Structure 1
């Protein structure tokens, strides 16, 4: 672990936004999943959510390349289950969905705890998802086509969220809970050992200030 690598990990974790996330409503094309995950990482999102009744998202996550190492994906069987979980944790659901109550995506306050709901490639946000959303937003279209690719729409909206959060100073201090921070730091720094510990149900060894592993009391990882 070089000092430069350790500093990069700390800098990234210090900018993570635990109250900003994405909920994909049966988005299933691998290139879209990959692109959304990459954008999520780029704007400081740590956890994303996906409704995938057949769990196809789990099979496609590998297509996201390097991004899957840095962003956690939580899979839900249906949209009500996902929405209930997010709302219980204080998130407001903002759906990218054309409707009579939809507003320009730039008019929404993304400094509040927000989950961006994205619909699938064929039919968009489901009827259930639309009804469960707290707000609907649209991206103004001035050409002949009626909508953007789901991953492009996600990038535009998430970068607006990033712009607002930067202006509000939300990237200036660490916002992850300490235990979550330590967990992620270890998993990012030592992914193979983290996987070994999870398989064996062992606690992660603590790290010193240089990012080097210290042997946990009563635990030895060879």
Structure 2
């Protein structure tokens, strides 16, 4: 267990005050541990509190060194099916955007991320499932000007999440705590134990 120094507590409080409980990602069948770890690291960097995942093996790959321990600071909720994950997010009031190389997909820059937002990223080789595409509120993509059609899933997540962070910074959403006081205290105690 880490030592509970005043400096460590202040740092944890500072980070927790900027957590964005209404910004998340749903990882659909993202199997490669280095991709999962890199996405969790990005989520931590932009203030995501919880990541959601669907994995057909009913589990999530092990973390590797890429996450730099960020899995300690970003909670991971695994859902048994894509449909149940969407249902859970909708009950929490999230608008859901799926990443896709499809006609009609909007540029990721044309989305308002200041609203409660979940972004769906799919498996490295196949992308987001047809089911998830049908369930999403809208489709988004990253415009590509070179020969390749898409970015690695962890890179795509970083590009889109930092756009969400930019919009939220401009809107002042990082200026005051966004968690209710009871949840804030509960998470702080959890973090202090790590």
TM range (shorter): over 0.9
Aligned to 2:86: 83
> Is 1:60 matched up with 2:59?
no
Q: Structure 2 stretches of 5 or more lacking a match?
A: none
Helix, strand or coil: the match of 1:162? helix
Aligned to 2:153: 150
CA distance in 1, matches of 2:116, 2:157: 17
CA distance in 2, matches of 1:51, 1:28: 10
Deviation beyond 4 Å, 4+ runs, structure 1: none
Structure 1 position 65, deviation (Å): 4.1
> Is 1:177 matched up with 2:172?
no
Structure 1 position 56, deviation (Å): 3.5
Q: Which has the higher contact order (CA 8 A, sep 6+)?
A: 2
Q: Structure 1 stretches of 5 or more lacking a match?
A: 192-222
Structure 1 position 2, deviation (Å): 2.1
Structure 1 position 43, deviation (Å): 0.2
Larger radius of gyration: 1
Aligned to 1:95: 98
8 A contact 1:95–1:116 mirrored in 2:
yes
- Cα deviation code 1:164-215 (max 9, x no counterpart): 0000000000001112111111111123xxxxxxxxxxxxxxxxxxxxxxxx
TM-score (norm 2): 0.95
8 A contact 1:62–1:68 mirrored in 2:
no
Helix, strand or coil: the match of 2:78? strand
The count of corresponding residues between Structure 1 and Structure 2 is 190
TM-score (norm 1): 0.83
Aligned to 1:218: none
Aligned to 2:45: 42
User: Pairwise mapping of residues 66-77 of structure 1 onto structure 2 (< 5 A)?
Assistant: 66-77=69-80
Structure 1 position 135, deviation (Å): 1.2
8 A contact 1:32–1:151 mirrored in 2:
yes
